[in-house]
Amino acid sequence: MITTTTPVLQGKDIVTYHGIVSGEAIMGANVVRDFLAGITDIIGGRSGAYESKLAEGREIAIKEMEARARALGANAVIGVDLDFETLRDGMMMCVATGTAVTYK
């Protein structure tokens, strides 16, 4: 399945638009990760623990979105948008949204 942020598939003809599909992932952080991230905030640098959690959430959301597109008979998702939010304490959410299409 082709998944792209662009609104078209270069060199491909879109024959059917199936509609909007989305995938969601809500990830919980833990006390140790929060503590280590707090230290990183104080001394500076990147928080590998949170970065890997964000990457995991993004992968789950995209896979779920693609599965929903397949269920509609699509073979691509165009115009993909990723949105990251923080929920209550220690919870992160990633939402992937796009348009399911069939191309030839």
Encode pLDDT of 31-56 as tens digits. 445 555 555 555 555 556 677 778 89
Residue 80: per-residue pLDDT: 98
Q: Burial level of 71, CB count in 10 A (0-12/13-18/19+)?
A: exposed
Q: Which domain holds residue 97?
A: 2-103
Question: Higher pLDDT residue, 76 or 41?
Answer: 76
Amino acid at 57: G
**What pLDDT shows up at residue 53?**
79
Question: Comparing 68 with 33, which gets the higher pLDDT?
Answer: 68
Which pTM value belongs to this model?
0.81
Across 53-63, average pLDDT: 92
Q: How many domains does the chain have?
A: 1
**Looking at residue 58, which CATH number applies to its domain?**
3.30.110.70
What is the band of 86 on the pLDDT scale with cuts at 50, 70, 90?
confident
- Joined tokens for residue 47: 């928080």
Per this entry, what is the length of the chain? 104
Q: Residue 94's closest CA among 28, 43, 37?
A: 28
